[in-house]
Each structure stands twice: as C-alpha cells, then as structure tokens.
Amino acid sequence: MTPPSKIRNIAIIAHVDHGKTTLVDTLLRASGNFRENQAIAERAMDSMDLEREKGITIKAKNTSVHWNDHIINIVDTPGHADFGGEVERVMKMVDGVMLVVDAYEGPQAQTRFVLKKAMQQGIKPIILINKMDRPHIEPAKVHDKVLELLMELEATEEQFNAPFIYGSARAGWVTDKPDGEQKDMTFILEQIVKHIPEPKAELEGSFEMLVSNIDWDNFVGRVSIGKVTRGTVKLGDRVFLLGKTPEEKPQGFKVTKVFQYTTLTTSDSVEGGAGDIVGISGIENVDIGQTIAGAADAPALPFVAIDPPTIVMQFAVNDGPLAGREGEHVTSRKIRDRLDREQKMNVTLSFKDTDTAGIFDVSARGAMQIAVLVEQMRREGFEVLVSRPMVITKRIDDVVCEPFETLYLDVPDDYLGPVMKSISERKGRIEDMNAHNGRTTVQAYIPTRGLIGFEFELMNLTSGHGIHSHLFREYAPHAGHMQTRSSGTLVSTEAGEATSYALDTIQIRGKLFVTAGDQVYDGMIIGENPRTDDLPVNPTRAKQLTNFRAAGGDKGIQLTPPMKFSLERAIEYIAPDELVECTPKNLRLRKRTLDSSQRQREKKKMEAEIEAAG
C-alpha cells in the first residue's frame, strides 16, 4: 500500500478548449504506463460520445499515473460554466490544481470561475501556459494577466508564488521559461511531486471518506468515488453511510468492491489507503456530499457549497400525433426515473413535479447543461417535449429579482456596432472596453435571460469570429420585458406528408424547416415567417390532377434546403408558447397548443386581458 507521502492529488482546470484533456493524454503517455505498441485514442479521457462530438469535457473524471515510486491522481474537469458543479465538488478530492491557460487568449471568464473555487479551498496552483507552438503568442503578457487574476481572487502569498511552466501539450514539450530549453512531459510530473503537498490523511483510525463523485458499473451498480481521509477500506468491510442531517440515522453496508483508477482502466484493488482516490461499491442510495465512515457515530465531513441553479425548463411527455413511433421510453414514469437518476449523479441539476401530470420542472446552471441531458436521453430511446429555458426569479425585499451575469466578449472591430446593438436590446450594460490588434474586448453586465440564444446571434453577427464567455454575478431587480426573437413562424394546419408542390408556394413566405416527404401535423412549426406573427399554412396540399395536369408536371420544382437545428439552437430559438419534440431520430418544433382554433381563442383571451389591464 502506498503511504500518503508518495501520493499527489491534482485537478486540471481551464477554460473551454485550452488543452486540459490533451494534457492528460500526454501525461499518461509520458508516465510510461502504456505498452510501446498500445493504441490510445486521442483525448482518451473524453469517454462519453457527446464529449468526443462536441470537443468539450462534460463530466469530471479521474485517473492515476504511477511514476517512479509516486502515485499521481489526476482529475480532468470541464471548462464550461454550465458544468461548474463538476469542478466545485472535486475540489474536496484534491490538494493542488494545475491551471492551463492558452498562450494567446490568456485567462478567460470560466478560468476565473474555476480558479476562484480552488482559491477558496486554500488549494495551491501550478500554472501551465499552453499552446506555445501557436503563432502570435504573448507568454509574458499572459503571465502578468494570470498574476493579476490571482491578486483579484485574493490569493495567499503561497498561492501567488505559484510556479509557471510553458509548453505545448499537443507537441509534448515543456520548459520553465518562455525561451528556455525544451524538456519532455516528465518535467511536469516532477513539478507536481515537488510543489503539490501530500494529501492530509491519517493512516491510523477508522475509515472515513467524503463522496465527491458517483460512477455507475454494470456489474456492481453505483460506485462512490472520493479521497480516503482516514484509515483504510477493503473488500467485505462493514461501513456506514452517514445521514445528510444530524437527525438522519446512519445506514450500515458491506463493501462489495474497491476500485482504483489507473491510466485508462479501473482495477479491483484489494485495499484503498489513506490519501488515495478510490471507488467503493455496495452502497446503493448514496448521494454526492455524504460521508462514508467505519463507525456509525463518526462526524460527517463538510462538503463544498454549490452555486444555485439559475435556469429552469419544462420536460413533458410527448403528446403529439407522432408520439411513440420512434422511442422506447415514452411514459411519465420512465422520464421521472431517468431525471431522478440524473439528479443523484449531478449535484447542480434538480427536478420537481408541477401541478400538471406528466410535466416536470428541471433546474440547472445553463441551457447547455440541460441540452446535454436531453441529447443523452434521446440516445437512450426517450421521447420528451422540452420548453424554452426560463430564468429562476426570486423575491428579495419584496422586489422581483432575476440572475445577472458578467459577459466577456472578444470581437473584430468591424463587427463591433451590431454586437453592441444586440447587447443593448438584451438589456446589457457595457462596463469596460479595450481595443487591441484589430479586436475589441468588451465586458458587459447582462441578465441571464439576455444570454439565451445570444451565442448563435453572435456567430451570425461576427461571421463566426466572435468569442464569448459568461459568469454568474448576482440576483438584481428584474430588467423588464425583452424581445429576443423578431420573427414569427409558419405553422402547419394539416397532418400528413409534406409535398414539394405545397412547399414550393410556402417557401416564398419564409425559411423552411422541413422538406418534401417529412411527416407534419396540425400545430407543428414548419418554417420561419420574417414578420412577427404566426402564419397558418398547409404543407400537405397535393396537385389536383386533370386531363391537362399530369402527375409528373412538378418535376422542375426546386426547393431550398431546409434549416436544420441542433438541439441547443432549437431550445433557444422557440418562443414561450412553443416546445421542442425530441425523439431518437428527429427534432421537431411545435406549438404548446396544437389545435389552431384553440390557439386563436387563447390569443384573443390574452389580448382582452392585456387591454383590461391597460
């Protein structure tokens, strides 16, 4: 068994796309833990299909590197703010962090967020300025920016004097100075052993561990992952899961397996020792933040406070005419069980029942986080309706308050005007602006509502050259009405198969979301109307055949290719009275109320209410 003095626990934190997962790849290779001829996938730690497709880390995952006589446990964390809860909870498992910063972009908004969490825990950082092989890099400037950031976050003297390393994780070299001699990646492992303290753990005494992560194993069920802070644990031990509150009684369990995470595999270790990060199975109803101890009367360990969710979306049973054709799981019971499972695995996500049967309110950090959950559910065979994200408002001193965020933008000077106009329409307020090398960085204070759908608009306004990131700041008084979508929709009035004959006349009115041969139904949104109102159309109309009109007469019809939405884009695009129907094979946009005459009645009723109030 390895003593705590030979163990190092470190989390790798950074902004999206600054090279965390690539760095873990090169550290695993450098440690000599692989065979010479072993095939290793690129970004090996991105184990989920969605992580590979999107190129981002979604779940925090841990591995360990055996180097010389040391064990270095490495936790790869997400860089996107929506998955910030993953970072917050792993801070209890580690004793140091490696902050990876892009040598060109410097520290970004999410960098500030994750580093702040580490600083609050008193964790010591090592800073790696990555991507030194890129053109136009400014390592000296980035070095100063990181020091400024540490000062802003009120770092202690020890944290402020953190060692700096320069290098390229992709090219596999590092150095201690921007123009220093290039060394291999074992230099980073040396620095981790030298600068990161050994874990605070007691070898003697009864077993104690805080659950910081939960995994699932097909053979043994739930696996509780955490750092052993005292004692040891082995197969067959009797342990106690302490209650979430002092009143809750501890429950006794038998350990069915102890897991150790080495390179890209998990091994069934005989014993988990003090200071090491291990997984324990045999405890079914465990939640993140609970303490597992060897004695029933042991005190519970403190858990890191998690920032509250700011966004809520409705999940509902698919009640459309095409329901049940593609998915296996379509009932509210199945959806509830799936959400319950997700809630146990993810501390920042929660759901509750609404007054209407089959509709659930799901709260999370951001639309991206919920979109990832919906995408996973689609792939598992679920059919579900999801609404547009709404912010969670609070009453503070009898004033309705909503969440506000700090928005950081980096846009080319040529596109600055339209971007500023968009920010002001979304109730944003500019706080700081700096021009540099043909680009302008903007810092704005904006309601979270204003950020829904902003990413896509920024892409269009800047031809894909705009970079943005945002960070939750505070709850402040409600900013008032906001119009984020200026267009209306083309709504189908009939059910059936869309025909090219009908779509040819409809495409003159706006952009189409469907093409000939697609199934449509009454109340389904089949296109965008440039005007603000909804236009009822019949996409199923067929050509009347007579002696003069031959069936093959519409061969020359040229339909414009339809607009195809990604799930995130669809969720942000819809209006409050619309839903996205998510099935394993299709994404459809539809009205909440499918019946057109019923919608007309509701519209008139609402207009009458507004008139009466006015």
Specify binding-site residues: 17-22
Spatial separation of the C-alpha atoms in residues 81 and 501, rounded to whole Å:
47
Is the Cβ–Cβ distance between 278 and 235 less than 8 Å?
Answer: no
CA distances from 609 to 14, 351, 592, 595 (A): 50, 32, 20, 21
Sequence letter at residue 205: G
Residue partners of 124: CB distance under 8 A and separation at least 6:
95, 96, 97, 158, 159, 162, 195, 196, 197
Please give the backbone phi and psi of residue 88, each rounded to the nearest 5 degrees, phi first.
Answer: -55, -45
295 and 279 in contact (C-beta within 8 Å)?
Answer: no
The half-sphere exposure of 216 on its side-chain side, counting CA atoms within 13 A, is: 8
User: What are the Cα distances from residue 559, in Å, to 150, 502, 512, 528?
Assistant: 56, 10, 9, 15
Which residues is 439 bridged to in the sheet? 412, 436
Dihedral class, residue 154 (left if φ above 0, else alpha if ψ from -120 to 50, else beta): left
* DSSP element (H, E) containing 117: helix 109-120
Place of tokens 């730690």: 45
Buried b (16+ CB within 10 A) or exposed e, 378-406: beeebbbbbbbbebbeeeeeeeeebbbbb
Which DSSP string corresponds to 455-518? HHHHHHHTTT--EEEEEEEEEEE----------EEEEE-S-EE--HHHHHHHTTTSEES--TT-
- Token pair, residue 320, equals 């459309």
Residues with Cβ within 8 Å of 246's Cβ and at least 6 positions away in sequence, in order, are: 300
Name every residue whose Cβ is closer than 8 Å to that of residue 311 and which is 6 or more positions away in sequence.
363, 364, 365, 366, 367, 370, 389, 390, 391, 392, 448
Decide the pairing of beta strands 257-262 and 311-316.
unpaired
**Binding site as annotated, residues for GTP:** 17-22
DSSP state of 56: S
Copy the structure tokens of residue 494: 């009939």
Residue 32 Rama label (left phi>0; alpha psi -120 to 50; beta): left
